[in-house]
Amino acid sequence: MFVIDGKLITPNLTSAILDGVTRDSILTLARDMNFPVEERRISVKEVEAGFKSGKLTEAFGTGTAAWLPQLL
């Protein structure tokens, strides 16, 4: 997820971007706080341009991990 120009931008759901509870929680909280959210394709060039211009203020990942020690 990226915050560019005051908007939370995250890729649309795909087979690689899963609809996890952590992702959903972040999007729900952002919308509840009236933070603009865009679910759309985002390119590396857009992220790079946002970084260079100073409009990219945050970048983070979300996910849910499971650890099963009995499998180790």
Q: Give the model's pLDDT for residue 57.
A: 97
Q: Is the dihedral of CA 41, 45, 49, 50 positive or negative?
A: positive
b/e burial code for range 22-31 (CB count within 10 A of at least 16 → b): ebeebbeebe
Alpha-carbon torsion, ordered 55, 35, 29, 54, to 10 deg: 10
Could you tell me the fold of the domain covering 2-63?
Answer: D-amino Acid Aminotransferase; Chain A, domain 2 (3.20.10)
- What's the whole-model pTM score? 0.79
Domain boundaries, the chain: 2-63
Per-residue confidence band for 23, with pLDDT thresholds at 50, 70 and 90: confident
Per-residue confidence band for 66, with pLDDT thresholds at 50, 70 and 90: low
In order of 14, 17, 18, 41, the CA distances from 57 in angstroms are: 25, 22, 24, 18
